């Protein structure tokens, strides 16, 4: 059901401030039965203290049993039904990078990968190279492969192993399958057309994959490319139009900037590399008076989970805990902390498990949860929500929704 017409009718002005913190992939699992999850293993005195004066619950980002990508996971948190508002990873990267992304173009998210001599994938992320190394290799590809058949190929560095390709030509389609096999030991998949109109695009993508491998055959690590998320430029309703919110995004990685800009958030500049938590806090502080809603993204919790680094994910949670008092010092009316999906280090991948949700706001009911963990969240008064149910809850606690009906 599309509730946007309801929210448009009920939206009302308020001086309240809403902060939504997304700890990417924060949900986890024990490495051994009976052991702690990453959140349970982390030393988080500030989150613990906050939990004791907040309401907690569990949140299924998209749908029970579905392991969501970051796109649908985030869109649901912003209140957009991820089954109605679909967008590919390529478009998000293009929007986040501010690339020249025109009507009719097809954008694809690329991963540099390390391929064995037999063509199988040794490392889907090529050892997470530096962004500078990525840019060096992208410069080689721009020179070697500016065109496939009569289709222009535009390459952009994103970060670490991630890059963007934009295909430009007549009659292109985004109805092609991914080439990323999603696990090592397998060969890259051939792109397949999902409709007759996409046959040419699939052929071009397969030729591009071959040419990239040939151009990079002397590279020790970045010697192959895996593609996913083919997409054209989408158009979504904006948050100010739907909720009456002037919204800002504080994120470092292009994909999340793209998500934010897609729903009408202003993407604020952040100083620093990687998660750049001090730079993000400064951006929040500097722009506090200008916006009603802030989306504050933390990426490395997800990256550590995907790498299977349990201890590393614990450390990233603890780093966020250390800067939490600086967010609280600004006095947000409503503060929510959650994840867009779970990424247990045990699985080295996104999973279908619910994530914990913490809500600090006026008018909360008593709560027995004492920590921001999966187990404690089950005790919380918020119960078990779906991702699309979060935004109305934040708006209500912020005094930004009028009564519904007579």
Quick one: which of 379, 340, 330, 377 has its CA closest to 358?
Answer: 377
**Euclidean distance between CA atoms 84 and 112, whole angstroms:** 31
pLDDT for 138? 96
pLDDT tens by residue, 38-74: 999 999 999 999 999 999 999 999 999 999 999 999 9
What does the pLDDT read at residue 1? 72
Whether 334 and 386 share a structural domain:
yes
Statement to judge: residues 99 and 80 lie in one domain: no
Asked whether residue 216 falls in the same domain as residue 178, the answer is yes
Residues counted in the chain: 406
Residues 243 and 361 in one domain: yes
Asked if residue 209 and residue 98 are part of one domain, the reply reads yes
Domain contains 80? yes
Instruction: Judge whether 219 lies within some domain.
Output: yes
- Closest by CA to 295, choosing from 330, 249, 344, is 249
CA distances from 208 to 8, 160, 194 (A): 45, 21, 18
Say how many domains are in the chain.
Answer: 2
Q: Which of 206, 231, 256 is the last residue of a domain?
A: 231
Q: How many CB atoms lie within 10 A of CB 166?
A: 22
What pLDDT score was predicted for residue 109? 94
Residue at which a domain ends, from 231, 258, 274: 231
Residue 52's domain comprises 4-87+235-397
Same domain, 137 and 9: no
- The CATH number covering residue 354 comes to 3.40.720.10
pLDDT at 277: 95
Residue 404 included in any domain: no
Q: Is residue 44 part of a domain?
A: yes
Minimal CA–CA distance to 107: which of 170, 181, 182, 165? Answer: 165
Judge if 161 and 15 occupy the same domain. Answer: no
User: Residue 275: beta bridge partners?
Assistant: none
Let me know if residue 358 belongs to a domain: yes
Low pLDDT (below 70) residues in the chain: none
Q: Domain for residue 276, yes or no? A: yes
Same domain? For 324 and 351 the reply is: yes
Domain with residue 123: its CATH number is 3.30.70
Question: Are residue 78 and residue 101 in the same domain, yes or no?
Answer: no
CA 145 and chain centroid, separation: 29
**Which positions ≥6 away from 196 have C-beta within 8 Å?**
none
pLDDT reported for residue 95: 87
Q: Of 214, 231, 248, which marks where a domain is finished?
A: 231
For the whole prediction, is pTM greater than 0.85?
Answer: no
CB contact at 8 A, 54 and 367: yes
Residue 344 covered by a domain:
yes
Nearest to 243 by CA among 370, 387, 34, 392: 392
Task: State whether 267 and 324 are in the same domain.
Answer: yes
Are 391 and 254 in the same domain?
Answer: yes
The answer on 278 and 140 residing in a single domain is no
């Amino acid at each position: 059901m599309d509730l946007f017409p309801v929210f448009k009718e009920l939206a009302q002005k308020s001086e309240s401030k809403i902060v939504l913190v997304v700890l990417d992939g924060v949900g986890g699992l024990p490495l051994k039965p009976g052991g702690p999850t990453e959140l349970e293993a982390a030393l988080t005195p500030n989150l613990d203290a906050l939990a004791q004066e907040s309401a907690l619950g569990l949140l299924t980002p998209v749908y029970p049993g579905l392991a969501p990508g970051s796109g649908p996971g985030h869109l649901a948190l912003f209140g957009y039904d991820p089954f109605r508002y679909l967008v590919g990873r390529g478009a998000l990267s293009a929007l986040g990078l501010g690339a020249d992304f025109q009507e009719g173009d097809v954008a694809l998210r690329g991963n540099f990968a390390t391929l064995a001599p037999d063509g199988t994938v040794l490392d889907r992320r090529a050892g997470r190279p530096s962004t500078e190394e990525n840019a060096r290799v992208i410069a080689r590809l721009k020179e070697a492969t500016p065109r496939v058949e009569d289709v222009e190929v535009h390459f952009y560095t994103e970060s670490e192993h991630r890059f963007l390709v934009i295909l430009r030509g007549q009659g292109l389609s985004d109805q092609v399958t991914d080439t990323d096999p999603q696990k090592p030991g397998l060969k890259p998949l051939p792109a397949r057309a999902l409709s007759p109109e996409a046959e040419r695009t699939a052929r071009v993508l397969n030729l591009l994959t071959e040419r990239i491998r040939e151009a990079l055959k002397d590279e020790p690590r970045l010697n192959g490319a895996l593609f996913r998320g083919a997409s054209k430029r989408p158009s979504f309703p904006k948050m100010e139009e739907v909720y009456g919110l002037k919204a800002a995004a504080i994120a470092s990685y292009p994909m999340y900037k793209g998500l934010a800009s897609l729903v009408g958030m202003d993407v604020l500049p952040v100083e620093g590399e990687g998660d750049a938590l001090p730079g993000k806090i400064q951006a929040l502080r500097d722009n506090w008076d200008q916006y009603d809603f802030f989306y504050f993204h933390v990426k490395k919790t997800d990256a550590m989970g995907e790498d299977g680094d349990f201890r590393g994910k614990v450390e990233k949670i603890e780093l966020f805990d250390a800067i939490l008092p600086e967010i609280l010092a600004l006095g947000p009316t409503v503060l929510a902390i959650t994840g867009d999906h779970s990424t247990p280090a045990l699985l080295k991948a996104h999973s279908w498990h619910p994530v914990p949700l913490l809500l600090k706001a006026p008018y909360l009911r008593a709560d027995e949860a004492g920590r921001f963990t999966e187990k404690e969240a089950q005790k919380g008064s918020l119960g078990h929500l779906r991702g699309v149910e979060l935004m109305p809850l934040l708006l209500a606690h912020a005094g930004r929704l009028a009564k519904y009906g007579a």
